[in-house]
């Protein structure tokens, strides 16, 4: 089996503009820090229609965001749900904002699993 090497540029943006320019929630920063990641320099951004010209794949966390992405970007955008690549029953990443620290830990685990699955799929040359 040959191994493929991927060169990726990743960005994060939401479909709403509520927190543009704000850092990640302190609870998410704490959860990431516990995993050895420093996300404190991240700032919230919003997906724009012109992003369709510079982005090959959009990854939605849930059905609502996938629908919003389609509305913003149009039918030509390639959009997948992250947890379609997760090896578990969950298909939507829950919003942990109104819960406690354990919700952020659950989201971290789900996102990590989905990202690993997505990268594995891309590395195998699968089109998503």
DSSP letters, 69-126, are HHHHH-TTS-EEEGGGGSSSS--S----TTS-HHHHHHHHHHHHHHHHHHHHHHHTT-
Indicate whether 2 pLDDT > 70: no
Indicate whether 96 pLDDT > 60: yes
Residue 89, C-beta contacts closer than 8 angstroms, at least 6 positions apart: none
Name the percent of the chain lying above pLDDT 90.
Answer: 82
pLDDT at 94: 96
Average of per-residue pLDDT across 18-33: 96
Per-residue pLDDT of 32-76, as tens digits, reads 999 999 999 999 999 999 999 999 999 999 999 999 999 999 999
Indicate whether 98 pLDDT > 80: yes
- The CATH number of domain 26-123 is 3.40.50.300: no
State how far the Cα of 65 lies from the Cα of 48, in Å rounded to an integer: 13
pLDDT at 4: 60
| Coil, strand or helix at 35 | coil
Structural Rg of the chain based on CA atoms: 15
Name the percent of the chain lying above pLDDT 70.
Answer: 97
Domain extent listing, the chain = 26-123
């Amino acid at each position: 089996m040959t191994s493929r090497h991927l060169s990726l540029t990743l960005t994060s943006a939401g479909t709403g503009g509520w927190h543009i320019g704000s850092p990640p929630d302190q609870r998410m920063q704490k959860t990431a820090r516990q995993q050895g990641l420093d996300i404190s320099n991240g700032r919230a951004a919003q997906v724009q229609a012109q992003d369709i010209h510079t982005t090959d794949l959009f990854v939605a966390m849930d059905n609502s965001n996938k629908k919003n992405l389609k509305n913003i970007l149009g039918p030509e955008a390639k959009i997948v749900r992250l947890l379609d690549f997760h090896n578990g029953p969950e298909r939507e990443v829950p919003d942990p904002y109104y819960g406690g620290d354990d919700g952020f830990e659950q989201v971290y685990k789900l996102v990590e699993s989905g990202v690993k699955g997505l990268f594995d799929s891309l590395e195998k040359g699968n089109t998503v």
